[in-house]
Amino acid sequence: MDFVLAVVVCFLGLVLALPVLKRRKTFRRISYYIDQLPGDKWYPLVGSVVSLWGLKREDLFQAMANRHLRLGPIFRNWYGSLPVVHLYKPEHVQVVFKSNTNINKGVFYKYLFPWLGQGLISGSGPKWRVHRKIITPSFHFNILDSYGEIFAEKGACLAKYLQRFEGKGFVEITGDLTKIGLDIITETAMGIKLGILEGNNTEGVEYANAIMSFLQVTYRRVANPLYNLDWLFKHTAVGRESERCCSVIHSFNQHIIQTRKRLLEAQGGLAVEEDELGRKKKVSFLDLLLNYQRSNPFADEEVEDEVSTFMFGGFDTTTATLTCAFAALGNHPEYLARVQEELDEIFSDEPTRKVTPQDVARMEYLDRVVREVLRCFCFVPFIYRNLDEDIAIDGYTIPRGANLSISLYNLHHDPDHYPEPFKFDPDRFLPENCAKRHPYAFVPFSAGPRNCLGQKFAMRNVKALLACVLREYNVKCQQRLEDIKYTIEIVLRPVNGLHVALERRK
Ligand code: HEM
């Protein structure tokens, strides 16, 4: 038995050390610089993240975020043979965000490849540049304006759906908000109506569940170097679950792409509607891609990677923002009252009329609330880069080839920039307070060349949905904000969902 164990350990040791042996010279340079930084104790083969192994879902995120409290604003860790430097101070992260060279994603994004492939979020290099150039026009403000109708219609649909919870006490809402999030992104970005919230689409629900499950298993790979080995991972129970999810996601994506392709073929290409002023109207990002593909080399696989990317980018973060906005306002009746006062003023002509993009632009207080939600709950808590060039930070050289982990969560809870960082206070986003802060102290959508393409879409969408619900309902949250525990599944979310009570306003 001891002999078998020894053989297994030696074999695993060799496999874990193999990447290092292959790139000895580069590796020596990286280690030289990295090991000058403070960091957790290092063990042969497994590295220095042993403390994260085996942590429960609800403890992993906090343990990761707390490392900066122990190790300072800049430290290194070894994930097996993978060196990672961790940062969060705005003065430090700006060096990366301002760079046009250090724009490649970190190694951890490879865990997303089975789902997102080389789409905009996980991709790097020349392909990323081409995709970004093709896709950016689909987020032009004229097109966003045309999505306003869908946001308003879905907001009204959500407000109507929520009637069933009136007077029912506290109910869990994240599941329903996920469904509406998915309905919105498929209708705007893909041009397909699903009707998942109304219960018209069981495949859509299965799809959303597969995405959630994929994200849950994927994040466990970051904390466990053994799961870094693809061949080993795919033979584990979590690896098999990951494969099952990808197959559900793939079939659903194909259904969306083929439906839209047939439509485009039938009309002989993209027919961009224009309004009376000659402005482009509703053109989905998928139609733009499919139309581009008709006369340019663009593989079917690339189209599917971007469909997955936009479904991911588009619904999960938005749903999380909506959910946590209900939690925050449900804990703070004084802020809820100010939001409702603003909405009553905007809709004083007709309280239940359709929300327009012009109305959304007038919701200044709600805007501050949503920004504070993005700061406080920080749904994308960590982002990663792989350096193409050395950078100098705080007297340290971080060498090319190293991976960087930027903690947006620690950045948004830095007491140097946000006094009492765990207190929810929308007035932090009053223009005079923003002007006093470091320009990189609030970056929920990242910043620089790899910033979020959907940020304006997300802000308008969330504000329109919140307006439709809050002008009709008062909301209370069962959990106190300080008691909510989060799990990290790329996106941060409350472990046990969120329970809110809705009462119609008098
Ligand atoms: C509250 C909502 C959202 C938040 C907090 C958010 C946050 C982020 C962050 C932090 C990144 C950088 C990720 C990284 O570097 O690893 C990102 C990238 C991206 N997001 Fe969002 N996002 C949101 C909504 C959306 C929406 C609605 C869409 C699409 C409709 C979208 C599409 C994308 C895309 C395509 C990228 C990759 C951009 C690139 O690298 O070229 N996001 N997002």
Pairwise pLDDT comparison (493 vs 464), residue with the higher score:
464
Prediction pTM value = 0.91
pLDDT of 468 over the 60 cut: yes
Distance from C-alpha of 356 to C-alpha of 360, rounded to nearest angstrom: 6
pLDDT of 271 over the 90 cut: no
- β-bridge partners, 47: 43, 79
Pairwise pLDDT comparison (21 vs 337), residue with the higher score:
337
Is ipTM over 0.85? yes
Distance from C-alpha of 166 to C-alpha of 506, rounded to nearest angstrom: 13
How many residues are given for the chain? 506
Residue 186 beta carbon below 6 angstroms from any ligand 1 atom: no
The residue whose CA has the least distance to atom 11 of ligand 1 is 452
Distance from C-alpha of 105 to C-alpha of 225, rounded to nearest angstrom: 19
Distance from C-alpha of 108 to C-alpha of 78, rounded to nearest angstrom: 13
Residue 124 beta carbon below 6 angstroms from any ligand 1 atom: no
- Work out the pLDDT band at 232, boundaries 50, 70, 90: confident
pLDDT of 137 over the 70 cut: yes
pLDDT of 171 over the 90 cut: yes
pLDDT of 165 over the 80 cut: yes
Angle at 109 between CA 173 and CA 310, to 5 degrees: 50
CA distances from 388 to 73, 125, 260, 351, 380 (A): 22, 11, 38, 54, 23
Mean pLDDT calculated for residue range 192-204: 83
- Work out the pLDDT band at 82, boundaries 50, 70, 90: confident
The ligand 1 atom at the shortest distance from the C-alpha of residue 443 is 10
Residue 381 beta carbon below 6 angstroms from any ligand 1 atom: no
- Which one of 289, 305, 370, 452 would you pick to mutate in the ligand 1 pocket, going by the greatest count of ligand atoms within 8 A of its CB? 452
The ligand 1 atom at the shortest distance from the C-alpha of residue 385 is 15
